Amino acid sequence: MTQPKLDLSPKVSDEVRKTTCYMCACRCGINVHMKDGKVAYIEGNRDHPVNQGVLCAKGSAGIMQHNAPSRLRAPLKRVGPRGSGEFEEISWDEAYDIAASWLAPIREDNPSKLAFFTGRDQSQSFTSMWAQGFGTPNYAAHGGFCSVNMAAAGIYTMGGAFWEFGQPDWDRTKMFMIFGVAEDHDSNPIKIGLGKLKARGAKVIGVNPIRSGYNAVADEWVGINPGTDGLFILSLVHELIKSGHVDLQYLSLFTNAPALVNEDQNSEDYGLLLRDTDDKLMVMDRRTGQPAPFDRKGVVPDLAGTWHDNGTTHRSVFQLMAEQYLDPQYAPENVAEKTGIAADRIRRIAAELADVAFNQAIELDLTWTDFRGETHDKMIGRPVSFHAMRGISAHSNGFQTCRALHLLQIILGSVEVPGGFRFKPPYPKPPEAHPRPHAKPKPGAPLNGPHLGFVHGPDDLALDENGTPARIDKAFSWENPMSVHGLMHMVISNAHAGDPYKIDTLFMYMANMSWNSSMNTGGVMEMLTDTDENGDYVIPHIIYSDAYSSEMVAYADLILPDTTYLERHDCISLLDRPICEADAAADAIRWPVVEPDRDVKGFQSALCDLGAKLGLPGFVNEDGSQKYADYADYIIKHERRPGVGPLMGFRGNGDETGRGAPNMNQIDRYIENGGFAMAHIAEEHQFYKPWNMGYQDWAVKLGIYDAPQPYVFNLWSEPMRRFQLAAEGIGTRQPPEHLRQRIKDTMVPLPIWYSPNEAENRADDYPITALTQRPMAMYHSWGTQNAWLRQIHGRNPLYVSRKVWEENGFSDGDWAKVTSPHGEIVVPVALQAALNDNTVWTWNAIGKRKGAWALDEDAPEATKGFLLNHLIHELLPPKGDGLRWSNSDPITGQAAWFDLRVRVEKAPAPADAQSQPSLPPIKSPVGSGPKALAWKVGK
Amino acid sequence: MTTLPQSTERKLGLVIDLDTCVGCHACVVSCKGWNTENYGAPLSDQDAYGGNPSGTFLNRVHSYEIQPEQGLAQTIHFPKSCLHCEDAPCVTVCPTGASYKRVEDGIVLVNESDCIGCGLCAWACPYGARELDQKEGVMKKCTLCVDRIYNNNLPEEDRVPACVRTCPAGARHFGDLGDPDSDVSRLVAERDGMDLMPEQGTKPVNKYLPPRPKDEEAIDVLAPFLEPVAEEPKGFLGWLDKTLEKL
């Protein structure tokens, strides 16, 4: 028999266009294969630092996102009541006229009347500049409801955190522990890294109540009780300190462990660190027995130092650490019950960490000079590494838990060393190198400085002259002083309540606030549609920008339609969240590999137009004409500081990196280079970066900062102690009485663990913790409109443990009523054996509102799919004091999604066999999608 | 009835590492993208935005739970596509000769122009690795990206199946399993690679590397529980002082 003759070398495509993915937030490089001017196939870019050629399911399905029937087609003006989804298409000119008719008067009167919040925005350095020009203090992106605890704890403690801030040294680490991860964060790099560890048999420990994804391949799974990670970590710290397995040399040279704490209870500096007259941190010098500035050449900082001065005793931070963590409350046998981890297992994991860090240390023969001027002829590596994300941060004890994890990394000496955890430029960067928050509006004028930043004590809070919060989300107030990313989840609730004040216009981008991005989804829909005694909406105007027909579209008055990610310009900028690796700075662009076939515009380009129409500083020339034609024009021409702009590559005449004059051909050069630019760090400068003067000088040359910024890690957090000191009655700026005790209890300068809000006193009525996870093949609500991805994750049962399954006598196909202090839902259940006994969970944001995302109304996402959000209130249950207590971490305002406690009971299947609550459909502004697909372009 | 070749010059296939696969479905979608645009008819989707979406995929990932007699339950991600069997029952059952196994590399393919969509091959395959495309009415299956692996229009490093090129964790390997010295054959030997359902007698070319043992209390005997340096906090400070002196 003869075989058919095949063409084994068919033409693959007419052209490959290289840009940056946006199917999730990871910013991988992609090769877009074009045929006949259309997108034919998408694969990973092998040269790209983030994904090195590989690509996840989302990225490969980009073609279905780009062609999704849910794409908005033109600006929309609401013609029916809010929430109905009834719109008419209008021109961009009319859209801008409407927006300006709302925004221009409030800017002249009181810019705070605008609340401008962007969601999963990768252009925050640009959108914040727009908001600053407008003059409103009310700006932030989605960090507050995402993982701000991780970012804030990392920067306050060690000048950087996980994911875009840093990464394990995948090529050298010998043991890796991963805590509570959202699998869409740093998705491909973590998988690439795990693959490397697996290939050489390095041990992976997964700490997570749920054994899926990375925890499924982990060599050891620790199915911890949710919200107790901090206690487990501090028990490991207890074991390590008790046995002397701490890197004393590292702690003395590179952290504030030898700094001297004022122990005089009557001093205004009680609990603060001893400083000289130049405000420089002091340590005891073991050579002289005298205090000395921490950074003096030759100083040997004494971890055991004590200094008596005029009756005041100062003791080293390390002595206080030893006292705190040697306490039996952290002994394994005393945390076993709360954490659900046997004492011997905690002891064994501590012993393994110690063994790998100290007995299997590695050395690199690289010479480097530290900030004290000392030259070292080798680099010592402690090859244990860690990663964590939302699972530990989305609790009301998350900030302290994240701090505890960094404490563990640091006492092992495993940060910024070979085999450990490494920062990625522009990090490391100490908290002092970040701006402080600014929130002083003035009619008709720009804001007095950047909105978001790092507070160092009560003086930096964003309060008005009466002491009330200056921001609509109450960020940087006594309720959550270190809310470095704002509190997007409180904006609508506070605006509706008029607490601290009422607003006029709510302007949002890429945030599905009437659905999966809000707590209390049903309540938020009511707030958005609520009217006052005159019949006017309580929130008078809502402008929203999205590329797709999301649930939030129906709740806006004016829609500015965005493009898909393949139709737009973007910069993945060093001013923002770049794509750097531990051994290189890198940034990237998106560019229109295809032009839109609809009357849509990149949101940032629309802001250039609208900013000019409103005459905002930064958006108009001196003669009042429009400064930036579009976002691409801004990317090329804008200078944040002289010579430093949104993109670092190909500046000046095209040969300059980091600093240089704007280059009108810059974007073309990026396109020629595969969509990104890279600047490598010399080998001897790739580790010890916070202290390595070679790195510091390189960072200055590149424009990351203007002068070297060496610093030591803050195991003892002075900013936290300053708030605690205020709560103890010291200082002129005092917290309100109702918050005093909470600040004392939570803003403790060394990491602690406390029980999360909702777990307190509720164990009897609500014994189960309910969580969500994000599937690797979906990104929030976006994946559902994707014909390929929704076939992978189109349903989301409530997964229950065997214990819950058996207690309720569940069998396949059953339904459960799930009740929280706030509400109830009725949903399908499924058994998962590899799950913590007292935990239930479901996939995040699979459930959809009927009529949204161009799906048919009988789509399983809209019938069986559900959200846990209905069970989570943005406020804690009333305490009888008339106050609105936010369901957030009291330190940072991080939304405490994972504090949710529920009761699970078997329930009859709903009569309509649909998950409850079942909401009425909204009218789709784009119709629904085609029945069948067979997507082939070209011949 | 269609005959199989007596032997093939090479045995190209996949080695899939179940110890490393995180179940991310990257291979599933990359395969769908490449094979929609390339070999044969596009992989269609029915009711794509409706109540019962269902499309053709050449590769799917299934997830299973295992409850060992002792210890914690485990989750296994199991990617599955055609295993390019040496004794492929899907070929011998084909009434038109559309299904065949290539002599030069052992790849099992469907010649779509001869396929009548009768579905016998899908019944014969014990692995459920073939899917009838509902729009085109022809049988679809993994081609091992036969239009990539020899394609002179692709850079040499890209001449691997789309699923292998895209796998983020590096859990998929491609090569000649007929050559005992190939990287894939060595990997199979080192990691005790296994056949899927060998009792079916199909002699699959693709191999699976089993998950390594998990959750073992496998602490190195050289690193027993940590010994306290002192029983009292005061004793700890004494140890600290002594140790700092030695630094």
Which of B72, B97, B103 is nearest residue A221 as measured by Cβ atoms?
Answer: B72
Mutate to test the interface with A, among B67, B75, B135 (most CBs of A within 10 A): B75
Residue B212 DSSP symbol: P
| pLDDT classification of A821: cutoffs 50, 70, 90 | very high
Q: How high is the pLDDT of residue A119?
A: 87
SS3 A355: helix
CA B102 from centroid of its chain's CA atoms: 21
A70: tokens are: 């849910």
Share of chain A above pLDDT 70, in %: 99
Closest CA in chain A for residue B18: A217
Whether residue A121 has pLDDT greater than 90: no
Q: Given pLDDT bands bounded at 50, 70 and 90, which one contains residue A437?
A: very high
| A761 has a pLDDT exceeding 70 | no
Amino acid code (one letter) for A689: K
Q: Contact at 8 Å (CB) between A514 and A552?
A: yes
Answer for the pair A446, A189: CB distance below 8 angstroms, yes or no: no
Q: Assign domain A758-907 to its CATH architecture.
A: Beta Barrel (2.40)
Using the predicted structure, report yes or no on whether residue B140 has a pLDDT greater than 70. Answer: yes
What does the alpha-carbon distance between residue A278 and residue A769 come to, in Å, rounded to a whole number?
50
In whole angstroms, give the CA distance from residue B50 to residue A921: 15
CB contact under 8 A, A216 and B36: no
Phi-psi region of A486 (alpha: psi -120 to 50; beta: other; left: phi over 0): left
- The average pLDDT across A176-193 equals 89
Q: CB-hemisphere CA count at 13 Å for A721?
A: 18
Q: Are A191 and B46 a contacting pair at CB < 8 A?
A: no
Scanning B55-84 for CB atoms below 8 A from A yields 55, 57, 63, 65, 67, 72-77
Contacts 24+ apart (CB under 8 A), A283-292: A283/A258, A283/A259, A283/A316, A284/A258, A284/A260, A284/A316, A286/B244, A291/A260
SS (H, E, C) A750-777: CCCCCCCHHHCCCCCCCCEEEEEECCCC
A162-172 per-position pLDDT tens digit: 988 999 999 99
Alpha-carbon gap: B201 to the closest alpha carbon of chain A (Å): 24
**Nearest chain A Cα to B45, which residue?**
A933
Residue B220 has pLDDT above 70, yes or no: no
CATH of domain A161-426: 3.40.228.10
Question: Where do the structural domains in chain A lie, given as residue ranges?
Answer: 17-60+567-680, 161-426, 758-907
Examine the pLDDT at A858 and tell me if it is beyond 60: yes
Amino acid at A72: L
Residue A338, amino acid = K
Domains and CATH numbers, chain B: 12-209 (3.30.70.20)
Residue the block writes with tokens 């700490």: A207
Say what the pLDDT of residue A758 is.
61
Contact between chains at A4 and B111 (C-beta distance less than 8 A): yes
CB atoms within 10 A of CB A363: 11
Residues A791, B168: C-beta atoms closer than 8 Å: no
d(CA A449, CA A139): 12
For the cut 90, the answer to whether the pLDDT of residue A781 exceeds it is no
Q: Is residue A263 very low, low, confident or very high in pLDDT (cuts 50, 70, 90)?
A: very high
Residue B225 to residue A347, Cβ atoms within 8 A: yes
A216 contact residues in B (CB cutoff 8 A): 22-23, 63, 74-77
User: Which of A46, A199, A790 has the CB atom closest to B53's CB atom?
Assistant: A790
- What confidence category does residue A760 fall into, taking pLDDT thresholds of 50, 70 and 90? low
**pLDDT (average), residues A784-792:** 96
Stretch A742-748: mean pLDDT, rounded? Answer: 97
User: Is the pLDDT score of A65 beyond 90?
Assistant: yes
Helix (H) or strand (E) holding A115: strand A114-118
Q: Check B227 against A191: CB less than 8 A apart.
A: no
pLDDT band at B216 (very low <50, low <70, confident <90, very high): confident
Could you tell me which residues are beta bridge partners of residue B79?
B61
Structure tokens at A842: 């479901």
Rounded Cα gap, residues A123 and A572, in angstroms? 8
B96 part of contact set with chain A, CB < 8 Å: no
Q: Quickly state the pLDDT bin for B223 (edges 50, 70, 90).
A: low
State the pairing for strand pair A768-773/A676-680.
unpaired
pLDDT band at A906 (very low <50, low <70, confident <90, very high): very high
- B-interface mutation test, from A299, A359, A788, A812, most B Cβ less than 10 A away: A788
Mean residue pLDDT across chain A: 96
CB contact under 8 A, B162 and A43: yes
| A190 vs B169: CA distance, rounded Å | 8
Q: What are phi and psi of A555, to 5 degrees?
A: -100, 10
- Percent of residues, chain B, with pLDDT higher than 90: 90
CA distance B233 to B246: 20
Does residue A574 surpass a pLDDT of 60?
yes
Q: In chain A, which residues have their Cβ closer than 8 Å to the Cβ of B101?
A: none
Interface subset of B 180-209, CB within 8 angstroms of A: none
Does the pLDDT at position A419 exceed 60? yes
Q: What is the mean pLDDT of chain B?
A: 95
A934 → closest Cβ in B25, B73, B135: B135
Closest CA to A148 of A595, A480, A568: A480
Average pLDDT of A194-206? 96
Split at pLDDT 50, 70, 90, the class of B224 is confident
Say yes or no to pLDDT of B219 above 70. no
ipTM of the complex: 0.97
Under an 8 A CB cutoff, do B214 and A220 touch?
A: yes
Residue range A40-69: mean pLDDT, rounded: 97
Would you state the structure tokens that stand for residue A386, as one six-digit string? Answer: 């860690």
- Is CATH 3.10.180.10 what the domain over A17-60+567-680 is classified as, yes or no? no
Q: Give the residue from chain B lying closest to A343, CA to CA.
A: B225
Interface test with B, best of A15, A51, A60, A319 (most B CBs within 10 A): A60
CA distance A692 to A415: 13
How many whole angstroms separate alpha carbon A467 and alpha carbon A477?
9
Confidence tier at A938 by pLDDT (50, 70, 90): confident
Mean pLDDT confidence for A231-244: 98
Residue B34 half-sphere exposure toward CB, CA atoms < 13 A: 33
pLDDT (tens digit, 9 = 90+) per residue, A344-376?
A: 999 999 999 999 999 999 999 999 999 999 999
Omega within 30 of 0 (cis) for the link into A708: no
The pLDDT score that the predictor gives to residue A163 is 86
Angle formed at CA A20 by CA A14 and CA A25, multiple of 5 degrees:
145
Residue A927 banded pLDDT, cuts 50, 70, 90: very high
Global model pTM greater than 0.95: yes
Residue type, A767: P
Whether A417 contacts A688, CB under 8 Å: yes
Rounded mean pLDDT, A858-874: 97
The total of other beta-carbon atoms located within 10 Å of residue A162's CB is 27
Kindly give, in sequence order, each residue whose CB lies less than 8 Å from that of residue A534, ignoring residues fewer than 6 positions away.
Answer: none
Average pLDDT over residues A678-695: 98
Give the pLDDT band (50/70/90) at residue B217.
Answer: low
CB contact under 8 A, A6 and B146: yes
Inform me whether the pLDDT recorded for B114 exceeds 60.
yes
What is the distance between the alpha carbons of residues B108 and B41, in angstroms, rounded to a whole number?
A: 17
- Tell me the C-alpha distance between A560 and A543, whole Å: 8
For A584, other C-beta atoms within 10 Å of its C-beta total 16
Q: How confident is the model at residue B222 (pLDDT cuts 50, 70, 90)?
A: low
**pLDDT at residue A1, rounded to an integer:** 59
Query: pLDDT tens digits, residue range A723-739?
Result: 999 999 999 999 999 99
Least trusted range by pLDDT, from A360-369, A409-418, B61-70, B210-219? B210-219
At B209 the three-state DSSP class reads strand
| A298, two tokens | 């030759």
Distances (CA, A) of A618 to A129, A293, A330, A752: 8, 42, 54, 44
The two three-digit tokens of residue A235, written as one number? 């028990």
d(CA A448, CA A440): 6
CB-based contacts of A345, cutoff 8 Å, min separation 6: A222
